[in-house]
Amino acid sequence: MVGSAMGITFKVDDARGIVFADWTGDITVEDIARYWAALLSDQPAMACGRSITDLRNCTMQFTGEELRKLAQGILEPAMKGRNWKTAVIVRNPLHYGVTRQHEMFSEGFMQTNVFYSEDLARVWVLS
């Protein structure tokens, strides 16, 4: 199954039970909101309980504060009681910093780790 939101696409790998998300181009907070809405309404994706998100080909057009508000408004209520693990692949210090902020915002309802290596991200999310 494949889902899409402006600049963000995701596919469910049923065999491995992982959602793979790719962020490309300029990504706004509105793009993230659409992506999270699509992901949260996709039953096969939500059944996986884990994801790998690749940020290496995107430019972030949002602030940490915008991301915090969005996470608290959309993810936190939807993820209560769920066990979700996500590995995020980054290519630069900005991606790393914003992902670490997201990790702090979501620590009560999601386990997140940041990687520069796709292979290490896969190993961790499957552990």
pLDDT band at 6 (very low <50, low <70, confident <90, very high): low
> What residue segments make up the domains of the chain, in order of their start?
2-126
The fold for domain 2-126 equals Transcription Regulator spoIIAA (3.30.750)
Q: Which tens digit of pLDDT belongs to each residue from 110-120?
A: 999 999 999 99
Angle, vertex CA 25, rays to CA 96 and CA 15, nearest 5: 75
Q: Is the pLDDT of residue 3 over 60?
A: no
Neighbours of 77 (CB within 10 A): 10
pTM for the structure as a whole: 0.90
Q: Which tens digit of pLDDT belongs to each residue from 10-20?
A: 999 999 999 99
Q: Which tens digit of pLDDT belongs to each residue from 57-98?
A: 999 999 888 998 999 999 999 988 888 999 999 999 999 999
Per-position DSSP letters for 98-109, written without gaps between them: HHHHHHHHTTTT
| Pair 18, 48: CB distance under 8 Å | yes
Place of tokens 């936190």: 76
